[in-house]
Structure 1
């Protein structure tokens, strides 16, 4: 059970965010409100309030940052994107829960037959969804979109995107210290600070050592964050000059070592694949790779339903690398198959909340499936409508950015956009196996969408300001006269 400090931290986060918004530029305040909340607030602990979603380390920073930006700073945050398809997907994401609630008013009853007599005893029951539940579910969808909308407006300029990558770099370097402590001494920090361990301790033991978890929900979340920090630092090293280039390159190498020590095969594979891309490849190749990965992620359920995923071949390859990894992957595939069977009963709008999407024993109601991938959770809960709306919102920014990159010279494109796109694409692939969609991911998606819209609709947010001035961003200490000569 979380201790008093865990709940106190959740209560104090609005005050901490207020200080950030008072003392930092708006872009940095938004970034650190989300990043620090994600990395420092207690997992699992939450406030269960009536008629609204649970307030935890994901929802509190989103709500607080949005309200401070709109209420305290008096900044406008458009609720709908400019691109027509992005508008449609945003509305679809928010309102896809309406048919889900309307088609799930019936309770799920578990009953047992008493002997040979036709007498049935109800052993358990999951309630149906009522109209008052619709408000709570829609509020939850809107809260999920808040970091996306904030990033689209205020983290989408090239300068703000550089701030985003720099925040990943700094946060990764800072978080590496407790991570290394846990790698050496075992994951104990959350127990020491918040009084409980947030997951199954056996899952932190790998290869004769430990995987760090610190204050995140699982070790895999931490490894994926370290991968993001490595990509961000590598991108900064590529565009930096002089001593800064050496510093960022050294930091990227150090963070990559930490990523290796996190002992996550998937995140390490992302790092080995993407670091050379970010360091050496042109923007067009980077966005093509990101689009290819996004296409795999969004079509995975369709291919899985049709039996076109070579499960046996994948498990054989995993077995060649590690028997433990093959066993873990096989367990995930088995649970996916169970959940797909359940989702197939209501494919269009899903089963809704209250755990109705889980596979349970028909008599006792005991849960017999443990879903891991985010896609199967969304697919089972909201059906195809909700799944396509969510994955569409994550994929469309990459598509629009790819279109704009193809139309323009490489020199016209921010060097910070495609690394963020690769971080987003890697997370989407990881969501096939893990529930790793967090507010920071929505920040990346919103940043890419906003930047693509800036290119497509000049003057959308800032009139009479160049979309990208590489010298101004990369060499900020040049004089105004030098910049005027360059222009």
Structure 2
């Protein structure tokens, strides 16, 4: 998409913003705001491309800024160092896998007048660098956001960001989604697709209205955590009031998925035990991981879901049927290069044989990853998102305070929802990876302290600062 000159200024100004953040805030808060602020404020679907290096966009540029901050301040941060294990294997597969994908896709594809050239080593290296940049927040958060105070900071930042962003969302709900066009000179989504029930879904500077609503849902869940703990985030407003306000904003966003998540998961965050919450997170994660297998073997209850959707809306049922039909066709195409996929540049998509028209609808991130990078790519990326949830389940027993358990369980649920959201939609971002990395780092920290507190951290330090108080 073509944006105006201010979009370019925003990109080049972000390193300055990050520098100010790292100079004025704690390390964890600066890292959180650098990544999340880029997601919320920088233009979507726009990038700055320089020769021989991956494009700078709202994901990669904040990631590099956070990396620079970590390099500058890493010596001040104490952390548990993890050994070589499942997470490292998955990370290597996610980063190196695209090289093998490119090697296996050097053939030219011809669909009538549409010709898609083959790719090779150059594209493989480019994809490797892109994957590494995209996953940077996972590694940073896993290494440096391990303490209970860091998990609490994540929830607090989410609530504050949700409250601030809600003002822009309410403006667009009333005036239509115009802010991206006003500020950056373009609209990242289809304007008609954001019209719902006689009004509009807000987009602000996000990818689309669904992504904006999903972010607001996670902010609401974070607010419910503080409501449960009777702990205020904003001094002038009670935690219950903040939760109620964000719930109203979610309703006004007119996104059924975000509303269902908020209602169902919000109930468990507020009233169920942390152990129950983590178990629910594990169930959600398991469904997301096994979804492709269920679709390939035709064991997913598509007919039952279509019948249920028909009860609410024939239009939604028809839309869901189109999605399922497309997934089946794309899976058949992906199965031809099952292991490492078809690669990038539209090679994973479907085209008319005679006219070369692209006839694909790839809404879900899972089918995009599955088609581009195959089984290896899917298991690597979704495995990295799922692993922290499973690790959190086993680490929950090592927490030493109720407050710590509540924050850990809520973060596990948010990470699980981030994963399952990639089945119907595509909202993968640096922020998703940061949350997953922080959850994994926290779980590893708890296990390390429980197994060898004196050897790893010193008895005096453990005695002075309890785990629940931020270690």
TM-score, normalization: structure 2? 0.92
Match for residue 423 of structure 2? 432
> Which residue among 346, 350, 363 is the counterpart of 2:341?
350
1:332 maps onto 2:323 in alignment: yes
**Residues 281-333 of structure 1, C-alpha deviations (whole Å, 9 max, x = no match):** 11110000000000000000000011111212212211222333323322322
- C-alpha distance in structure 2 between counterparts of 1:345 and 1:454, whole Å: 42
Describe the shift of the 1:434–1:208 C-alpha distance in structure 2 as closer, same or farther (beyond 3 A). Answer: same
Match for residue 451 of structure 1? 442
1:302 maps onto 2:288 in alignment: no
Match for residue 310 of structure 2? 319
Aligned-pair CA distance for 1:414:
3.5
- C-alpha distance in structure 2 between counterparts of 1:412 and 1:184, whole Å: 38
Aligned-pair CA distance for 1:245:
11
1:14 maps onto 2:22 in alignment: no
> Which residue among 464, 468, 472 is the counterpart of 2:469?
472
Alignment of 1:77-88 (within 5 A): 81-82=82-83, 84-88=85-89
- C-alpha distance in structure 1 between counterparts of 2:37 and 2:179, whole Å: 16
Alignment of 1:12-411 (within 5 A): 12-71=13-72, 81-82=82-83, 84-111=85-112, 123-241=113-231, 247-406=238-397, 411=402
- C-alpha distance in structure 2 between counterparts of 1:470 and 1:73, whole Å: 21
CA contact (8 A) 2:401 2:467 kept: no
**Which deviates more, 325-334 or 461-470?**
461-470
- C-alpha distance in structure 2 between counterparts of 1:306 and 1:78, whole Å: 43
Unaligned ranges ≥5, structure 1: 112-122, 474-486
Question: What secondary structure is seen at the aligned counterpart in 2 of 1:125?
Answer: strand
Question: What secondary structure is seen at the aligned counterpart in 1 of 2:48?
Answer: coil
Aligned-pair CA distance for 1:98:
2.6
Describe the shift of the 1:338–1:239 C-alpha distance in structure 2 as closer, same or farther (beyond 3 A). Answer: same
CA contact (8 A) 1:238 1:245 kept: no
Describe the shift of the 1:180–1:17 C-alpha distance in structure 2 as closer, same or farther (beyond 3 A). Answer: same
Describe the shift of the 1:51–1:74 C-alpha distance in structure 2 as closer, same or farther (beyond 3 A). Answer: farther
- C-alpha distance in structure 2 between counterparts of 1:426 and 1:162, whole Å: 19
CA contact (8 A) 2:399 2:468 kept: no
CA contact (8 A) 2:105 2:343 kept: yes
CA contact (8 A) 1:69 1:75 kept: no
**Residues 113-148 of structure 1, C-alpha deviations (whole Å, 9 max, x = no match):** xxxxxxxxxx23212121122221111111111110
- C-alpha distance in structure 1 between counterparts of 2:119 and 2:80, whole Å: 27
Aligned-pair CA distance for 1:472:
3.4
Describe the shift of the 1:77–1:89 C-alpha distance in structure 2 as closer, same or farther (beyond 3 A). Answer: farther
Question: What secondary structure is seen at the aligned counterpart in 2 of 1:415?
Answer: helix
- C-alpha distance in structure 2 between counterparts of 1:43 and 1:241, whole Å: 34
Aligned-pair CA distance for 1:186:
1.0
Question: What secondary structure is seen at the aligned counterpart in 2 of 1:96?
Answer: helix
What is the Cα-based RMSD across aligned positions, in Å? 2.5
Match for residue 423 of structure 1? 414
Question: What secondary structure is seen at the aligned counterpart in 2 of 1:344?
Answer: helix
Aligned-pair CA distance for 1:25:
1.1
**Residues 59-109 of structure 1, C-alpha deviations (whole Å, 9 max, x = no match):** 111112112321466567999843611121122222122321221111212
Unaligned ranges ≥5, structure 2: none
Question: What secondary structure is seen at the aligned counterpart in 2 of 1:109?
Answer: strand
